[in-house]
């Protein structure tokens, strides 16, 4: 035994151990990201009750995270290539640790909002640096297995994040969600420091600052205007100014990206019809899946009065299919065209949304409520394109442009989630306002807006305190009718996305390297759009 213990470890074994440590660190960080998203939604009612935040401050708890995440993801990828993937990953995880600790000790809802935005920036750096580092440490089948494990870890976070958040809130209060995040981030930081290898792209041109600032500014201004509109009124100068500024910045972004030598976003990729179809997939899954990860916990906890644990258990019905169905979809894609599978999944999700709308208002029977079956169908349908769209994002463009395509896709995915959350929240507020009885003199317009905003943020008690003339029964009835209408509209949008995705992605599938003939281009090795 002593001889074996003193024998030096072979060089290859040492390298493999280091790479496994690096993979473990990235997977730990990936586990945190969906928990940061869904855990914040579950904790929102408790944060609002403890810190007495306004309705707008409560809505920004999730939107600030998603906005910063989506707006900074592509810039973080460029920084990782230029300054080092390990360095950006460790910087992201370290900031995730610090912001999570600061969130646990926050004493105002406004501070929580700003820290959640910083947490989103940290998440972007973590994902960009960690994902890029795996591509340098693994190749061939090992790389496929590494990314498969990364996706599975992300799915575990989605599936059990709400339940874990609920358990932590019941045991430690809302601070427990962020304290637990800090502990896991610290573990990922220590392991990543030891196990990851530094790498960078020697040909990297650095960050496209004009493009980054204009894109992030447009996204932030649009989201701000949409979220502020229900509280201030759609015609308020602040709202109109924010939306107009978003349009100006969006136009400037397109002009900048068309002129710079090394753009952050290569707009010519949108000449590929199949590439456009792939970009619709995260938009569709945002409509039918991501928004429900936020709206349903607020409904269960804030409007129905369920405990955080009960809400977390119910949410597993929505996310549990993410652990199995993506793998099944990748196996089916060997025999069935990916476009057919993706559009079929979206049709199933749309049917689940319509079914869920029919269960709104049905009597609850504890954890096993009537909504569980349609939630399972929505989760299973959403998981089919979820398991395929990452691979499709790089397979529908020429091979030499795959990296840019992946960056655009990830940005579209996260940015669309943040924008969709803001839009759906605004629509739900408008629908509730239309359902409530008009009581001139009893409920002033500004008071009514604040009450409805609080209701959507999961604060039934705050809504009743602002507008006692309506009463709990009227508020709950208006919410349920509006929620059912919203689900029907989301089902229609998802179904339309399924039709467009099928039209864009129909045709031959490929099993090997990118074939530009499938993109509607001449079948040549150097084809350009």
28-39 pLDDT per residue, tens? 998 888 888 888
User: pLDDT value at position 428?
Assistant: 93
User: pLDDT value at position 90?
Assistant: 94
Q: CA-based angle 344:347:351, to the nearest 5?
A: 140
In whole angstroms, give the CA distance from residue 175 to residue 103.
Answer: 7
Radius of gyration over every alpha carbon of the chain, rounded to an integer in angstroms: 23
Give the tens place of pLDDT for each residue, 72-98: 887 887 788 778 889 999 999 999 999
Q: For the residues 395-402, what does the mean pLDDT come to?
A: 64
In whole angstroms, give the CA distance from residue 453 to residue 302.
Answer: 12
Phi, psi of 307 (to 5 degrees): -75, 160
User: pLDDT value at position 355?
Assistant: 96
Burial of 82 (0-12, 13-18, 19+ CB in 10 A): middle
- On whether the CB atoms of residues 195 and 22 are closer than 8 A, the answer is yes
What sign for the dihedral angle of Cα 138, 322, 91, 180? negative
Burial of 50 (0-12, 13-18, 19+ CB in 10 A): middle
User: pLDDT value at position 487?
Assistant: 96
Which range, of 385-389, 490-494, 496-500, averages the lowest pLDDT? 385-389
Give the tens place of pLDDT for each residue, 126-166: 988 888 788 777 776 777 677 777 777 887 888 888 889 89
Neighbour tally for 215: CB within 10 Å: 27
523 three-class SS: coil
**8 Cβ partners below 8 Å, 6+ apart?**
none
In whole angstroms, give the CA distance from residue 143 to residue 140.
Answer: 5
Residue 509 clears pLDDT 60, i.e. is over it = no
**376 Cβ partners below 8 Å, 6+ apart?**
317, 318, 320, 321, 352
Residue 351 clears pLDDT 90, i.e. is over it = yes
**299 Cβ partners below 8 Å, 6+ apart?**
458, 479, 483
Report percent pLDDT > 70 for the chain. Answer: 87
Q: Which of 96-105, 383-392, 438-447 has the highest mean pLDDT?
A: 96-105
In whole angstroms, give the CA distance from residue 108 to residue 113.
Answer: 9
Neighbour tally for 523: CB within 10 Å: 10
Residue 204 clears pLDDT 70, i.e. is over it = no
Report percent pLDDT > 90 for the chain. Answer: 30
In whole angstroms, give the CA distance from residue 205 to residue 263.
Answer: 10
Q: Which of 293, 351, 341 is nearest to 317 (CA)?
A: 293
Residue 511 clears pLDDT 80, i.e. is over it = no
Which tokens is 42 given? 């579950």
In whole angstroms, give the CA distance from residue 89 to residue 122.
Answer: 9
User: pLDDT value at position 512?
Assistant: 39
Residue 338 clears pLDDT 70, i.e. is over it = yes
Which tokens is 253 given? 């972004």
Give the tens place of pLDDT for each residue, 213-238: 888 888 889 888 888 887 777 788 98
Q: What is the 3-state secondary structure (H, E, C) of 88-99?
A: HHHHHHHHHHHH
**264 Cβ partners below 8 Å, 6+ apart?**
74, 75, 78, 207, 208, 211, 212, 215, 257
User: pLDDT value at position 528?
Assistant: 30
Residue 286 clears pLDDT 50, i.e. is over it = yes
Average pLDDT across the chain, whole number: 83
Which tokens is 61 given? 């708890």
Give the tens place of pLDDT for each residue, 6-34: 344 344 566 778 888 888 998 899 888 88
What is the DSSP track for 360-375?
TTPPP-TTS-TTHHHH
- On whether the CB atoms of residues 288 and 350 are closer than 8 A, the answer is yes
Q: For the residues 288-303, what does the mean pLDDT come to?
A: 90
């Amino acid at each position: 035994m002593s001889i074996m213990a003193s024998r030096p470890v072979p060089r290859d074994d040492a390298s493999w151990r280091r790479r496994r440590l690096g993979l473990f660190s990235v997977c730990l960080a990936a586990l945190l990201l969906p928990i940061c998203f869904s855990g914040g939604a579950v904790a929102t009612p408790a944060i609002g009750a403890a810190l007495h935040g306004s309705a707008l401050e409560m809505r920004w708890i999730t939107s600030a995270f998603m906005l910063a995440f989506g707006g900074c993801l592509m810039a973080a990828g460029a920084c990782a290539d230029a300054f080092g993937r390990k360095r950006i990953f460790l910087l992201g995880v370290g900031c995730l640790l610090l912001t999570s600790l600061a969130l646990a000790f926050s004493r105002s809802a406004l501070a929580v909002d700003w820290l959640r935005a910083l947490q989103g920036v940290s998440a972007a750096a973590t994902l960009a640096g960690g994902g890029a580092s795996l591509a340098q440490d693994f190749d061939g089948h090992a790389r496929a297995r590494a990314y498969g494990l990364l996706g599975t870890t992300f799915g575990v976070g989605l599936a059990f994040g709400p339940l874990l958040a609920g358990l932590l809130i019941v045991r430690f209060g809302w601070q427990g969600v962020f304290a637990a995040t800090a502990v896991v981030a610290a573990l990922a930081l220590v392991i990543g420091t030891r196990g990851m290898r530094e790498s960078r792209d020697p040909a990297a041109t650095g960050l496209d600052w004009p493009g980054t600032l204009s894109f992030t500014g447009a996204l932030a201004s649009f989201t701000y205007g949409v979220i502020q509109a229900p509280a201030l009124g759609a015609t308020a100068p602040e709202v109109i100014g924010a939306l107009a500024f978003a349009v100006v910045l969006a136009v400037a972004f397109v002009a900048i990206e068309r002129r710079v030598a090394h753009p952050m976003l290569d707009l010519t990729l949108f000449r590929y019809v199949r590439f456009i179809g792939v970009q619709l997939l995260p938009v569709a899954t945002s409509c039918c899946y991501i928004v429900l990860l936020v709206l349903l916990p607020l409904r269960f906890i804030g409007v129905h009065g369920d405990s955080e644990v009960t809400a977390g258990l119910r949410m597993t019905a929505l996310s549990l299919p993410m652990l199995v169905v993506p793998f099944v979809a990748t196996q089916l894609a060997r025999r069935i065209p990916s476009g057919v599978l993706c559009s079929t999944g979206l049709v199933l999700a749309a049917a689940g949304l319509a079914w869920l709308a029919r269960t709104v208002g049905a009597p609850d029977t504890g954890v096993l409520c009537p909504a569980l079956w349609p939630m399972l169908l929505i989760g299973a349908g959403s998981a089919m394109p979820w398991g395929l769209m990452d691979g499709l994002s790089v397979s529908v463009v020429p091979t030499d442009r795959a990296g840019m395509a992946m960056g655009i896709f990830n940005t579209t995915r996260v940015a669309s989630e943040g924008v969709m959350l803001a839009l759906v929240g605004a629509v739900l507020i408008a629908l509730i306002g239309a359902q409530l009885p008009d009581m001139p003199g009893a409920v002033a317009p500004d008071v009514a807006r604040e009450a409805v905003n609080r209701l959507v943020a999961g604060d039934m008690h705050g809504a009743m305190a602002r507008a006692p003339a309506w009463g709990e029964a009227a508020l709950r009835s208006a919410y349920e009718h509006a929620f059912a209408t919203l689900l029907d509209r989301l089902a229609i949008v998802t179904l339309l996305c399924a039709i467009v995705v099928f039209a864009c992605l129909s045709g031959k599938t490929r099993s090997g390297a990118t074939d530009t003939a499938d993109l509607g281009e001449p079948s040549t090795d150097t084809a350009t759009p």
